[in-house]
Chains A and B, each alone.
Chain A
Amino acid sequence: MKRRFALPPAAVRLFIAFAVLALVVVPWLPQVVYPVFVMKLLCMALFACAYNLLLGFGGIMSFGHAAFFGSAAYITGLATKHAGLTPEVGILAGTLGAALLGALIGSLAIRRQGIYLAMITLALAQMVYFLFLQLPFTGAEDGMQQIPRGRLFGVIDLRDDRALYYLVLVLTVAGLALIHRVVNAPFGHVIVAIREHEPRARSLGYPVDRYKLVLFVLSAALSGLAGSMKALVFQLAALTDVHWHLSGDVVLMALLGGMQSVLGPAIGAAVVVSLQYYLDAFGGWVTLVTGVIFMVCVMTFRSGIAGALTRPADDTQAPARRPD
């Protein structure tokens, strides 16, 4: 085993502290980075980490997570634009809606395993896509536009980018903290046990399916939180939010960032979102380049950025290897 360089945990903590500090000062330096772009980054980071809760820790590969992200965006839009509710209620409604959808899709999907589960989630997400294409209030191809940002608790005006930025930052950090907590709680350890050896976990008396379902719902709800925030930031819920391309993107973020780490996918999200942002100028190259990165990652970089930084880079520790 070749031991290359590995970051000590203290360095990781320092890095996180530095990142949080940098994120706090962002809105005061709009000439350096565009705050709306950073808000998108934060939403996607939460989305990727929520997704990875399922993939990296549960070993459950969903290929339809855009359904939760996008549904929440539409529901938030529906609540704030059509029902005239305040943004915090909109976000709550979106998150709960995504959780409910997660319970529905999850209870069907966990009836099968592995790649079947991936195909099932993909197919069900495609169904959700068609629903949003056809439902009367979604604006079909145009998307749901001009979703109002409103006043938080009826007091704080979110049309101010800075106010919205801090709301998104607080919610994202809270979401990530929750994920961190869940992974390190007894619940998280049971999940890992189920991933590593499901029959054994079952024989120890753990209600395996219930654990999987709870994890699925949690992941869907947090993905929904990300989608709701995104709807407020861009004031738009569109079909691209429920499209399978986005489901693929979030898999790539988790893979690229490092499936075995809690915050790794956030790094992956930052890379993917920035890349797509800058590639947009070149027209149709986004899909092609995303695909190439995908293939390179799968072939050579399975432990991801976080994995490469925090542990010796050798392939035997690649996650989710099937015991033959």
Chain B
Amino acid sequence: MNEIFGMPLSVIAGQTLLGLVNGCFYAVLSLGLAVIFGLLRIVNFAHGAFFMAGAFGAWMLHRYLGVGYWVALVVVPVLVGAVGAGFERSLLRKLRGLDPIYGLLLTFGLVLVLEGGFRLLFGSSGQPYPVPESLRGSVQLGFMILPIYRAWVIAAALSCCLLSWWLIERTPLGAKLRAATEKTVLTQSFGINVPLLLTLTYGVGIALAAFAGVLAAPILHVNPAMGSNLVIVVFAIVVIGGMGSMFGSIVTALVIGVVEGWTRVFYSEASSTVIFVLMALVLLLRPKGLFGREGPA
């Protein structure tokens, strides 16, 4: 029993792990995307760019200030989130009430600005970021070798998702947020500061993306294009899962990540397209998405 369909178990387990790690990035990003979309009705194209900015933030702190991984993990999301909140407050807010495609276009412009800017500053080749010392090494599990850093990424990302879920579903702040999502005007008439809530939501969503970026820095090469390639995949995942439920988008993201990993084992040529094929299938069979509640879009 060391083989499945002619593939060694260790290879499959390894790719499953890799898929799970990718799935975790997808999950954190699609979660932020879904929360922002839910409240602001904006498809945040710049989500991947902020993910990239997070990775670069960690890299810059390390390179220029000698700041380590753990500090970066806290500082970078806060900084990038603040930038995101500022962007919402100054520009994105003015597009409220217009067709949502303008929000998509504005954030697309921001992608080009961020990507182009980082490419000007650091070039388009990847920058290496070291794995923090406390998370180096690996554990022998018998059927596979588990690098500690990958395990940490999965744990951190999943706790992050769980925390967000708890924040939104189980706290008074989350209740206000959900109320504002359902009935914006009514919530405002109860004296809840909805515009502030919007800025905060956008900022937190962006901070989530930056957090994922810092997590990804030691695994992926830090480069200006890393975000946009990812965000297109996340869009496909959002279409597959539907943006109706948080839980749905997290599960979809993890499953898709693993499916992608397995495809790499059995038919590696298709590994970059399998997600889009799945999306096409879902659109044919269940156009609303697996967990979708079609909202106004």
- On A, residues with C-beta under 8 Å from B are 61, 63, 108, 111-116, 118-120, 122-124, 126-127, 130-131, 134, 244-245, 248, 251, 255, 283-295, 297-299, 302, 318, 320-322, 324
Contact = CB atoms under 8 A, between A and B. Distances in A.
A123 B276 contact: yes
A318 B98 CA distance: 9
A111 B287 contact: yes
A20 to B, nearest CB: 31
B112 A108 contact: no
B115 interface: yes
Interface in B183-240: 228, 232-233, 235-236, 238-239
A288 B109 CA distance: 9
B94 A299 contact: yes
A292 B113 contact: yes
A287 B105 CA distance: 15
Contacts of A324: 97
Contacts of B238: 119
A303 B108 CA distance: 18
Contact of B112 (A61, A134, A290): A290
B101 interface: yes
Nearest to A302: B102
Contacts of A293: 109
A298 B116 CA distance: 19
Interface string B159-177: 0000000000000000000
Interface in B133-160: none
B117 A115 contact: no
Given A295-B109, A297-B109, A322-B98, 5 more contacts: A108-B283, A119-B236, A124-B276, A287-B119, A291-B113
Nearest to A126: B232
A282 to B, nearest CB: 10
Contact of A284 (B95, B99, B104, B119): B119
B283 A295 contact: no
Given A115-B43, A318-B98, A292 B239 contact: no
B105 to A, nearest CB: 5
Contact of A112 (B43, B97, B115, B287): B287
Given A123-B236, A291-B116, A115 B106 contact: no
A12 B131 CA distance: 62
Given A244-B228, A322-B99, A124 B280 contact: yes
B232 A112 contact: no
A123 B232 CA distance: 6
Contacts of A130: 272-273, 276
Contacts of A120: 239, 279, 283
B236 A320 contact: no
Contacts of B283: 108, 111-112, 120
Contact of B101 (A61, A126, A288): A61
Contacts of A126: 232-233, 236, 276
Interface in B244-289: 269, 272-273, 275-277, 279-280, 283-284, 287
A248 B45 CA distance: 12
B111 interface: yes
Nearest to A245: B112
B115 A298 contact: no
A247 to B, nearest CB: 10
